[in-house]
Amino acid sequence: MAGTRYLRFVIIAVIALAVVFFISSSPTSQEQLRGVANTVANKINEQLSFNPKTGDAPTGSKSIAQDITEDPLSDTRVEAPTSSNPKTSHPKPKVKADRVNATFVSLARNGDLWDLVASIQQVEDRFNHAYGYDWVFLNDQPFSDEFKKVTTNLISGTTKYGLIGEEHWSFPEWIDQQKAADVREDMKNREIIYGDSISYRHMCRFESGFFFRQPLMLEYEWYWRVEPSIKLFCDIPYDPFKYMADHGKKYSFVLSLHEYKETIPTLWDSTKTYMKEHPEHIAEDNMMSWLSDDQGDSYNGCHFWSNFEVGSLEWLRSDAYTDYFKRLDEDGGFFYERWGDAPIHSIAAALTLPKEQIHFFNDIAYYHVPFTHCPTEESIRVDRKCSCKPEDNFDWNDYACMSRRAS
């Protein structure tokens, strides 16, 4: 009986330590903490005042379980941490005071989990552990419990999971299904990447016109897009969201390149129609010279690679952008060709924003297969603890568009 009693004492001591740790992590005064410690000590003493012959505790005493579920500082009950809330052990971000209203956003499926985990870890380690920004996940199918549990445990901010409505992930009623099918078959025969994919077309249309309209995104002003299997090679010791807001920027990028022309044969025709319909949306100091080599008669294919972008949701929700998307959507090029969201975001930004509102994050070292942006300045690579090779930098590749960028 004595052995059992000592075992009970050990259990009580462990629980007591847990209570003190829990309360010490809350904003209580030292006086309050001493009161808690005294309460626990008295309870332990009561439990130790047992009859050595019978092993019985004093009659009329409450159980230790009753005591630890009551907050001695108030009349309310304390909810003990549970395994259903994996964030209870996650360290709190160090910097929060001057954050802007922003979120990371990822379009992903359950099967993307572990590739996305690698991206999340990069973002958290290199930046977000210090800021705790939220992360919105969007999917045309319900997210699994495993997906939610794993991602929530990794992210320092609040995680949110949205189900995309069918109206944003389907063929519009005006699309000729047979014509669209014939196009997919033709592109398959010509071995155009994703040429026969229906889901890829839905994805491009969604990223072009609907991700920023999702209910979970409506509460935010800024977004940072993150895709599976990306890498961040350098620490980011400042807040890119806040930099954008403080400096009047609306759209940003780290990589730019030429689009595969076979996927967008009539995109510029639709763009020119939009410019004629809405001259009021075209910024005076725009980047037309970056998009076109002949004063706007044709499109040279240059675009910002949208798998990384930090941007203004207010801009995407503006008439200038939504009128552009509406024109493109009605023309059907997402399904009759294979228009991507990258040239669409890029053309819209280059035409509707003054060029000073578009920012190149040269100091953010980034990789998305198969291209790398690595800062060439040694001082940046040393200060930011970069792990990329300058020789891998894509910026000055013949297929890149950096040398054309208007500054």
pLDDT beyond 60 at 135:
yes
Mean pLDDT of the chain: 83
Q: Does the pLDDT value for residue 96 go beyond 80?
A: no
Residue 221 has pLDDT above 80, yes or no: yes
Which pairs with CB-CB distance under 8 Å and at least 24 residues apart come from 210-216?
210/164, 210/168, 211/105, 211/107, 211/138, 212/313, 212/316, 212/317, 213/168, 213/317, 214/136, 214/138, 214/162, 214/164, 214/168, 215/162, 216/136, 216/138, 216/160, 216/162
- To the nearest whole percent, how much of the chain has pLDDT over 70? 75
Q: Nearest CA to 353 among 231, 215, 252?
A: 252
Our CA dihedral for 179, 180, 184, 187, rounded to 10 degrees, sits at: 70
Q: Lowest-confidence range among 80-89, 119-128, 380-389?
A: 80-89
Q: Are 402 and 396 contacting, i.e. CB atoms less than 8 angstroms apart?
A: yes
Length of the chain: 407
pLDDT of 403 reads 76
Q: Which amino acid is at 199?
A: S
Q: What is the pLDDT of residues 294-344, one digit of tens each?
A: 999 999 999 999 999 999 999 999 999 999 999 999 999 999 999 999 999
The amino acid at 362: N
Amino acid 95: pLDDT? 54
Residue 359 phi, psi (nearest 5): -120, 140
CA 274/CA 313 separation, integer angstroms:
21
The CATH homologous superfamily for domain 102-404 is: Spore Coat Polysaccharide Biosynthesis Protein SpsA; Chain A (3.90.550.10)
Measured on CA atoms in the order 147, 149, 150, 155, is the torsion positive or negative?
positive
**Local structure of residue 58 (DSSP, 8 states):** P
Q: What is the dihedral of CA 55, 58, 59, 65, to 10 degrees?
A: -90
Return the number of other C-beta atoms located less than 10 Å from residue 3's C-beta.
8
In order, the DSSP letters of 122-183 are HHHHHTGGGT--EEEEEESSPPPHHHHHHHHHH-SS-EEEEEPPGGGSS--TTS-HHHHHHH
The answer to whether the Cα torsion of 360, 98, 224, 314 is positive or negative is negative
pLDDT digits (tens, 9 = 90+) for 352-366: 999 999 999 999 999
Domain ranges of the chain: 2-80, 102-404
304 three-class SS: strand
Of 65-79, 147-161, 169-183, 263-277, the one with minimum mean pLDDT is: 65-79
309 is catalytic: yes
Q: What are 241-260's pLDDT values in tens digits?
A: 999 999 999 999 999 999 99
Instruction: Using the CB atoms, write b or e for 165-203: b if 16+ within 10 Å.
Output: eeebbebeeeeeeeebeebbeebeeeebebbbeeeebbb
Candidate from 13-22, 57-66, 373-382 with smallest mean pLDDT:
57-66
* Closest among 370, 388, 127 to 255, alpha carbons compared: 370
> Is the pLDDT assigned to residue 17 strictly greater than 50?
no
Residue 201 is predicted with a pLDDT of: 98
Residue 91 pLDDT exceeds 70: no
Q: What percent of the chain has pLDDT over 90?
A: 74
Longest dimension (CA), the chain: 101
Q: Cis link prior to 390 (omega < 30° from 0)?
A: no
Q: What integer is the mean pLDDT of 67-88?
A: 31
* Interior angle at CA 202, CA 191 and CA 347, nearest 5: 85
pLDDT band at 94 (very low <50, low <70, confident <90, very high): low
pTM of structure? 0.77
Residue 67 has pLDDT above 50, yes or no: no
* Interval 93-109 mean pLDDT: 86
Catalytic residue among 309, 330, 337, 377: 309
Query: pLDDT-derived band of residue 55, with 50, 70 and 90 as boundaries?
Result: very low
pLDDT of 111 strictly over 60:
yes
Is residue 278 pLDDT above 80, yes or no?
A: yes
Q: Is the pLDDT of residue 87 over 60?
A: no
Residue 24's pLDDT band, with cuts at 50, 70 and 90, is very low
Q: What is the pLDDT of residue 98?
A: 87
Q: Is the pLDDT of residue 210 over 90?
A: yes
The answer, yes or no, to whether residue 89 has pLDDT greater than 90, is: no
Q: Which residue bears the tokens 């890119």?
A: 240
Tokens encoding 121 = 């870890």
